[in-house]
Amino acid sequence: MLTYRIPARCGFALVLRRGQLLRVIDPEGEQVADVVTFSESDPRERLSNGRSFDYGGRIYFTTGHTLYSDRSNPMLTIVSDTVGRHDFLLTPCSREMFRIQYGVTGKQPNCLDNLAKAIARRGVDPALIPTPFNAFMNVDVLPDGGLDIRPPRSKAGDSITLRAEMELLVAVSAWAAGRCNNYRFKPVDIEVTDG
Amino acid sequence: MLTYRIPARCGFALVLRRGQLLRVIDPEGEQVADVVTFSESDPRERLSNGRSFDYGGRIYFTTGHTLYSDRSNPMLTIVSDTVGRHDFLLTPCSREMFRIQYGVTGKQPNCLDNLAKAIARRGVDPALIPTPFNAFMNVDVLPDGGLDIRPPRSKAGDSITLRAEMELLVAVSAWAAGRCNNYRFKPVDIEVTDG
């Protein structure tokens, strides 16, 4: 078993063999972890929220549901989930997002840079980063289509476990924008087992 | 003014200069048109539903709303809209989608191939196709996150007009899966004006 603690507002990448299990753990509670995946054999094949919405007929995913690539291949299946609410709509916080939404300029830790750095080290073009699966992020869709970002439902020790359905490059970032984490930045733990 | 009729279940691509207006017209009613856009200067910069959801704080877009690229730049602003309901969640119908969702094998017209052919002719890698803005597609998000695809609200002659906020390669397909179009395949008209 591989275990790794991703420090607050940092990122990490790893390769999963088909059938391996990735457990993403929220050790302190109310912390989002965004997850992006790429096919190891051709990283232009990436996680796709739209394909997953299509085949799942839903926007919220939990145990038993599958996340698809933009080429319609299963990438990850959720095999256990102690929280039951995750987001697949919103994009990683980024320098541009902090500027546009909060008027913050200059460099500060953000998920897009974390994911970009983590995959660039493995030779994958950061321009390919898709909309992540945001584990533990709690976004309500209101009847008029408005989005309401609420504190995560995860408590200390909660986790979601995903099985790799192909050989994958996976990058995970400990979400670095305040509102989604109830205004406290915490680490994220990951565990990889052979399933 | 450029005008073009996209035949039923076909696609088309064109370049928009900054400030030009693209009007997408449903000439017969209840027909979806999916729209994808790429920066002319670097087609790896593409339309992003996730960025648009973030900055708009919503999943439904109409007059006055802006659609963003994955690099957080405005790509299109909706300047008029006689329908008021479009989708930005679902991916283009494709050979794989027909196989997975309907058990249909073999070649048949589909939006992904239409978009791929249209942009490949202009030198853009089809692997870059993002989740489209699906004009006139009517998808309800149920309280539990389930998706309910309903007939478009558009009637004959309805349209949506989008202003290019940068130089864009745009591809449009007359949606080729039955359910979204109330089970009849119809053409889509487009008009380009200088704004």
Phi-psi region of B144 (alpha: psi -120 to 50; beta: other; left: phi over 0): alpha
Nearest partner of A144 among B72, B192, B180, B59, judged by Cα: B59
pLDDT tens string A55-96:
999 999 999 999 999 999 999 999 999 999 999 999 998 888
Burial of A13 (0-12, 13-18, 19+ CB in 10 A): buried
**pLDDT at A173 exceeding the cut of 90:** yes
- Contact (Cβ atoms closer than 8 angstroms) between residue B34 and residue B112: no
Q: Beta partners for A122?
A: none
Confidence of residue A157 (pLDDT cuts 50, 70, 90): very high
Query: How distant is the Cα of A154 from the closest Cα of chain B, in angstroms?
Result: 18
pLDDT tens string B22-49:
999 999 999 999 999 999 999 999 999 9
How many cross-chain Cβ pairs, A to B, lie less than 8 Å apart? 94
Query: How distant is the Cα of A59 from the closest Cα of chain B, in angstroms?
Result: 5
pLDDT tens string A176-186:
877 778 788 99
Q: Does A145 touch chain B (CB under 8 A)?
A: yes
**pLDDT at B101 exceeding the cut of 90:** no
For position B105, what pLDDT does the model report? Answer: 83
Contacts with B49 from chain A: Cβ below 8 Å? 49-50, 89, 131
Average pLDDT, chain B: 94
Q: Give the integer Cα–Cα distance in Å for B138 and B87.
A: 6
Q: Does B70 touch chain A (CB under 8 A)?
A: yes
Q: Does B147 touch chain A (CB under 8 A)?
A: yes
Nearest partner of A7 among A191, A192, A190, A186, judged by Cα: A186
For position B48, what pLDDT does the model report? Answer: 96
Q: Does B45 touch chain A (CB under 8 A)?
A: yes
pLDDT tens string B43-84:
999 999 999 999 999 999 999 999 999 999 999 999 999 999
Residue of A50, A70, A96 with shortest CB distance to B72: A96
Q: What is the residue type of A127? A: A
**pLDDT at A150 exceeding the cut of 80:** yes
**Residue in chain A nearest B62 by alpha carbon:** A145
Residue of A60, A89, A97 with shortest CB distance to B59: A89
For position A184, what pLDDT does the model report? Answer: 85
**Residue in chain A nearest B125 by alpha carbon:** A44
Residue of B58, B72, B91 with shortest CB distance to A54: B91
Q: Give the integer Cα–Cα distance in Å for B186 and B92.
A: 16
Q: Does A104 touch chain B (CB under 8 A)?
A: no
pLDDT tens string A3-27:
999 999 999 999 999 999 999 999 9
pTM of the predicted model as reported, rounded to 2 decimal places: 0.94
Sheet holding A33-39, edge to edge: A11-16, A168-174, A33-39, A133-135
Both tokens of residue B137?
């597609």
- Contact (Cβ atoms closer than 8 angstroms) between residue A174 and residue A33: yes
pLDDT tens string B117-146:
999 999 999 999 999 999 999 999 999 999
Query: How distant is the Cα of A181 from the closest Cα of chain B, in angstroms?
Result: 16
**Residue in chain B nearest A134 by alpha carbon:** B50
Nearest partner of B15 among B148, B118, B138, B126, judged by Cα: B118
Burial of B124 (0-12, 13-18, 19+ CB in 10 A): buried
Contact B147 A100 (CB under 8 A): no
Contact A129 B70 (CB under 8 A): yes
- DSSP secondary structure, B29-91, as one string: BS--EEEEEEESS-TTSBB-HHHHHHHHTBS---TT-EEEBTTS-EEEEEEEESS---BSSPP
Stretch among A173-177, B119-123, B146-150, B187-191 having the lowest mean pLDDT: A173-177
Both tokens of residue A82?
């102690």
Distance from CA of residue B18 to its chain's centroid? 19
Q: Give the integer Cα–Cα distance in Å for B51 and A92.
A: 9
Contacts with B127 from chain A: Cβ below 8 Å? 44-45, 70
Confidence of residue B98 (pLDDT cuts 50, 70, 90): confident
User: Is the CA virtual torsion A70, A137, A167, B147 positive or negative?
Assistant: negative
Q: What is the residue type of B79? A: V
**Residue in chain A nearest B86 by alpha carbon:** A145
Query: Quick count: other Cβ atoms within 10 Å of Cβ B9?
Result: 21
Q: Does B48 touch chain A (CB under 8 A)?
A: yes
For position B103, what pLDDT does the model report? Answer: 86
For position A62, what pLDDT does the model report? Answer: 98
Stretch among B59-73, B80-94, B100-114 having the lowest mean pLDDT: B100-114
Residue of B44, B94, B147 with shortest CB distance to A127: B44
For position A119, what pLDDT does the model report? Answer: 95
Q: Give the integer Cα–Cα distance in Å for B76 and B48.
A: 11
For range B80-90, the mean pLDDT = 97
Nearest partner of A119 among A176, A192, A36, A193, judged by Cα: A36
Contact B44 A125 (CB under 8 A): yes
Average pLDDT, chain A: 94
